[in-house]
Amino acid sequence: MKKLKFLPIILSMIILNSCVSYHKMKGDACYEALAYSKAIDHYSKIYRKKADPHVQLNLGDSYVQIGQLDSAMAIYGLAIQSQNAHPNTYFEYGKLLMNMKRHQEAARYIRIYLQWYPNDKVASMLLSSCNSVTDRFRDTTLYKLKPMIQEEFVNTFSPIEYQNGLVFSADKPVFRGQKTSAWTGNSYLDLYYIEKDVNGNWMDPELLKGDINGKFHEGPATFSADGKTVFFTRSNYFKKKLEVNEERENNLKIFKATLIDGEWKNLEEFPFNSDDYSCGHPTLSEDGKSLYFVSDMQGSIGGTDLYKSDFVNGEWTKPTNLGYTVNTAGNEMFPYIHHDGALYFSSDAHNSLGGLDVFITYNNGVRWVQPENLNYPLNSSKDDFGFSLSSDDSSGFVTSSRASSDKIYSFEKFAPTFNLFGSAKDKTSSLPVKDVLVEITDSKTGEVIKMISNENGKFELKLNPESEYRLYCTKLGCFSRTDKISTKGLKYSQDFYADFLVEPIVINKPIVLENIYYDFDKWNIRDDAAKELDKLVKILKDNPQIDIEMGSHTDVRGNDQYNQILSEKRAKAAVDYLISQGIDTNRLSYKGYGEKVLVNGCVNDVFCSEEDHQKNRRTEFKVTEIHEQ
């Protein structure tokens, strides 16, 4: 009887284990087939019944793949509370935290993951990104985004200008009986065309006509300059038959079509397509001679890499990988080549805010330069991709999942702004000086802008990009000062500050040059002294109307006659240095004062430190004459 009492329990356990095994097996099969929406159905039935790290990891990733990040966060958050969580769960949880703008928390979990896999380059790059996330917000004025209204679609992405409008890829919600994508549960992706009406409003999208849209997915497209040829991404099928390789994997392929009587016809495969790897996301150079695309073909550095093929003698050349500067151990995709040769692409590695970020690089004739993140607000902590720039270089489009699903945003691109904030202060009192004349010359245009400092000693000016300026600050009876400012090559907005110290010119008043020291018993100009003398060179060039005398002093060590000779050698050495820097010898004189004028109590028979003695080994200058200009 006791044995019969346990029989229902045993049978329940057998049924439960059988159920778990079935749904795990079916979930794994759907997950491997990229049927994430179906995988979720199976995994969800069992993941709470048994803490299986494999199921938790795949279920969370399935939610990520269909864009349900909150659900993925809940799965991973529960998983890492257990003792046997899969190491990858910590990494995936960290990436999701980056998506949620919680970068400090993300860094914590990525570090835990790196304890298992210290050589994971992608994890190391993302950890670095978390630690430098503030750099992505260094200038938020360069882009202004506006969402396009696309109510009938679930996801819209990869817009590209064509004719008088845009071509983009999109899917729609499906109704019972309609064919769905196993990945998302929505319709398959198709290519659409959209234009604006006379009032600037987007009209209803239309499917591209002809043979370009089929039963399965059509993705990013690119057009020739004359608009008569298109290269586009398609699921690996041809003539309505879905092709798979020996591992039952469905890859992407690039197809070409020609516009004939308003319809896209004559489909041709890119010659380097394969059933064993994917090729997709094509972008065509303006001259039509280079095709950039994404592939995971053999030899790739990461998951997906950027490749280039050239059209030579009527054939496409063997694709070349863009190399380690552009491609990482992560995923690079969605390239876009602009008419100026700049290459834009998205990556989930490099220095990303989270998910995919848009980067820019260009080839300098020798190599591809280090990609730069386009930063916030064009990039966000979510996926940002499918970037394209209009021919005017000041507007464009980008795809982002920052609002839950993939949507197209239009953007305006602005040049960085540069502002000059200047002040004039009395050198002795630091009080503001008004009525100081400031002349600012734009070396690019030759324009001279004149300003007067106000009662607070302030002056301001907006500067132009890619320009160099010379500032000349003067007040009657005072030393003039100059400065230089350059905005050339600066990519981010910046404020410049010019603080001028106003000092009256007094005939025969000694002015000590700070830090002009000499080694004991030496008169040669040390490197540190040369830097200080360069400041005097600048004063003399800024004030060509003055003549000066260089005066040199020694400490009391040594006899008086020797010190007198030594000080004269030092003064002459200073004058010789000024002449070597282009100062007219007729404006210069020198005099040695020996030990006659000390600045402290280090007289004969008094013990002093070397530092105190050195203060007496000083050099001064004084204005001896002011010429009329």
Residue 602, CB half-sphere, CA atoms under 13 Å: how many?
A: 21
Which residue in the block uniquely carries the two structure tokens 């008094």? 606
Cα 79 to Cα 56: distance, rounded to the nearest angstrom: 6
Give how far Cα 313 sits from Cα of 205, 222, 310, 316, Å: 38, 22, 10, 8
Q: Which two tokens stand for residue 99?
A: 């998506």
Strand partners, 389: 396
- Is residue 353 within 8 A of residue 136, CB to CB? The reply is yes
pLDDT confidence of residue 236: 72
Q: Has residue 16 got a pLDDT over 60?
A: no
Q: What is the pLDDT of residues 404-460, one digit of tens each?
A: 789 999 999 999 999 999 999 999 999 999 999 999 999 989 999 999 999 999 999
Instruction: Indicate the average pLDDT of the chain.
Output: 89
Instruction: Give the global pTM.
Output: 0.81
Band of pLDDT at residue 78, cut at 50, 70 and 90: confident
Which has the minimum average pLDDT: 63-67, 90-94, 272-276, 307-311?
63-67
β-strands 263-269, 252-260 pairing: antiparallel
Mean pLDDT of the 289-311 span: 96
247's CB contacts (< 8 A; 6+ apart) are none
More reliable by pLDDT, 493 or 606: 493
Residue 11 is predicted with a pLDDT of 38
| Element of type H or E holding 27 | helix 2-32
The confidence score (pLDDT) of residue 66 equals: 84
For 160-180, how does the pLDDT look when each residue is reduced to its tens digit (9 = 90+)?
A: 999 999 999 999 988 766 678
Residue 3 has pLDDT above 90, yes or no: no
Q: What's the CA gap between 587 and 130, in Å, rounded? A: 59
> Closest by alpha carbon to 411, among 399, 428, 429?
399
Contact status, residue 533 vs residue 578, Cβ threshold 8 Å: yes
Gap between the terminal Cα atoms of the chain:
123
Residue-level pLDDT at 584 = 95
Q: What is the CA radius of gyration of the chain?
A: 36
Tell the residue number behind the tokens 């239309």, with chain if given. Answer: 206
Q: Identify residue 375 by its one-letter amino acid code.
A: N
Listed residue (623, 541, 526, 535) closest to 582, CA to CA: 541
Say if residue 429 is exposed, middle or buried (CB neighbours under 10 Å; 0-12, 13-18, 19+): exposed
- CA 278 – CA 272 distance, rounded (Å): 10
Query: What residues are paired with 252 via a beta bridge?
Result: 235
Quickly state the pLDDT bin for 84 (edges 50, 70, 90).
Answer: confident
Q: What is the pLDDT of residues 521-530, one digit of tens each?
A: 677 787 778 8
pLDDT tens, 264-283? 999 999 999 999 999 999 99
Return the pLDDT at 244: 61
Spatial separation of the C-alpha atoms in residues 252 and 235, rounded to whole Å: 5
- 504-537: per-residue pLDDT in tens? 999 998 888 876 766 766 777 877 788 889 989 9
pLDDT band of residue 248 (cuts 50, 70, 90) is low
Which pLDDT score, from 0 to 100, does residue 180 have? 80
CA triple 102-105-106, angle to 5 deg: 80
Residue with the larger pLDDT of the pair 122 and 19? 122
- Render pLDDT for 253-268 as a digit per residue (tens, 0 to 9): 999 999 999 999 999 9
pLDDT higher for 149 or 487? 487
Token duo for residue 490: 């600066």
What whole-number percentage of the chain has pLDDT above 90?
65
Residue 18's pLDDT is: 55
Q: How far is CA 459 from CA 78, 426, 441, 447, 486, in A?
A: 59, 15, 15, 18, 18
Which of 23-27, 182-186, 401-405 is the least confident region?
A: 182-186
Tell me what pLDDT residue 263 has.
96
Counting other chains too, the contacts that 221-228 makes at CB distance below 8 Å and 24 or more residues apart are: 221/158, 221/160, 221/167, 221/169, 221/191, 221/282, 222/160, 222/282, 222/283, 222/284, 223/160, 223/162, 223/167, 223/284, 224/284, 224/288, 225/286, 225/287, 225/288, 227/162, 227/163, 227/259, 228/258, 228/259
pLDDT in tens, 573-592: 999 999 999 999 999 999 99
595/559 Cα distance (integer angstroms)? 9
d(CA 221, CA 342): 18
- Domains of the chain plus CATH, in order, are 23-137 (1.25.40.10), 143-413 (2.120.10.30), 418-502 (2.60.40.1120), 511-626 (3.30.1330.60)
Which residues have a Cβ under 8 Å from the Cβ of 297 and sit 6 or more positions away?
Answer: 272, 274, 277, 279, 307, 319
Mean pLDDT of 379-403: 94
List, edge to edge, every strand of the sheet that includes 357-361: 332-337, 343-347, 357-361, 372-373
**Residue 2, pLDDT score:** 42
Instruction: Report pLDDT digits (tens) over 198-228.
Output: 998 899 999 999 999 988 899 999 999 999 9
From residue 115, how far is each of 112, 124, 442 by CA, in Å?
A: 5, 11, 55
Task: Give percent of the chain above pLDDT 70.
Answer: 93
Listed residue (36, 43, 48) closest to 22, CA to CA: 43
Q: What is the pLDDT of residue 7?
A: 43
Distance CA 184, CA 200 (A): 33
Two tokens at 172? 């729609």
Please give the pLDDT value at position 249. Answer: 59
Residue 238 — very low, low, confident or very high, per pLDDT cuts 50/70/90? Answer: low
142: DSSP letter: S
Cβ–Cβ < 8 Å for 362, 381: no
pLDDT at position 245, please? 57
